[in-house]
Structure 1
């Protein structure tokens, strides 16, 4: 058993796994994330997604990244709320909120599109007798979905920026 563990340790450097944020604040990924500007995105869902993105990029700036914009992130969102689970009296007992984004990372110096991708997530919502509680649940779902989509986008952008040019 010890032999296998020692063998695994010897083979590990050859597997080509590398930390995403190698170099900390001075690394390629942190510098790239710190240099992304995000124009306003339409709607309340756009405001939530943009703020979530800016929070993540601000963390890269705080860790030593420069503040000069080298990239622009263009985002379009599609937010749908649909009723599911219709009960006997034709009322909806469950809803599904779906938030999808299509985004492009644009190099501001060349105008080249470095990344053209999509992200999305959905959440189920119980419709209860209190209209206020249902609206609150819909808004909470939207806030959570915005954060989830921002995380997906930042991860994909980081992978793109990590690749050698």
Structure 2
């Protein structure tokens, strides 16, 4: 009896999943709606070293500035913090947490309206060793990784917004 129920259950689940409305985000590849719209997003200036890293990561992911006129602009404000967590016997810090938070807005340049207002962020743990150079190198490495992670979050959210705003009403 069990051998008959499993195939019937699996085929029923396959039919249910096929009607759920899922579709590929980047359908059409580089000529698709999402990819071509993302290429029209300009990244506004972002302050500081974290801003420079974030701007480069976003431009790489958006493929911005490749001969396409900007129709949208991403305005981003970053909050970058390092907090000491662990303390050694000599009162020095043994562990740090670096957090990078981004508040961003997608602005339509044709009329100045804000299409998307959201936040993204991530954090990383850092071992603070006796060598100050090694600790600074670890902090910089963490900032580079966090910039990539937060840039991925922002691009995914913008791509999802573009995909949903271009969907026909049901």
TM-score for both structures, normalised by structure 2: 0.89
Of stretches 88-97 and 47-56 in structure 1, the one that deviates more from structure 2 is 88-97
Runs of 4+ in 1 over 3 A off after TM superposition: none
1:10 to 6, 10, 15: 15
| 8 Å contact kept, 1:30–1:61 | no
- List runs of 5+ in structure 1 lacking aligned partners: none
**Count of aligned pairs:** 161
- What does the per-residue CA deviation read over 1:11-68, in whole Å, with 9 as the maximum and x for residues that have no partner? 332111111111212222111111100122110000000000001011x888xxx712
For residue 10 of structure 1, report the CA deviation from its aligned partner: 2.4
- List runs of 5+ in structure 2 lacking aligned partners: 1-5
| 8 Å contact kept, 1:121–1:145 | yes
| 8 Å contact kept, 2:129–2:135 | yes
* CA distance, structure 2, for counterparts of residue 10 and residue 98 of structure 1: 43
CA RMSD across the alignment: 1.7
| 8 Å contact kept, 1:83–1:94 | yes
Show the counterpart of 2:3: none
| 8 Å contact kept, 2:42–2:65 | no
In terms of Rg, which structure is larger? 2
Show the counterpart of 2:75: 74
Q: Does 1:57 align with 2:62?
A: yes
Show the counterpart of 2:125: 124
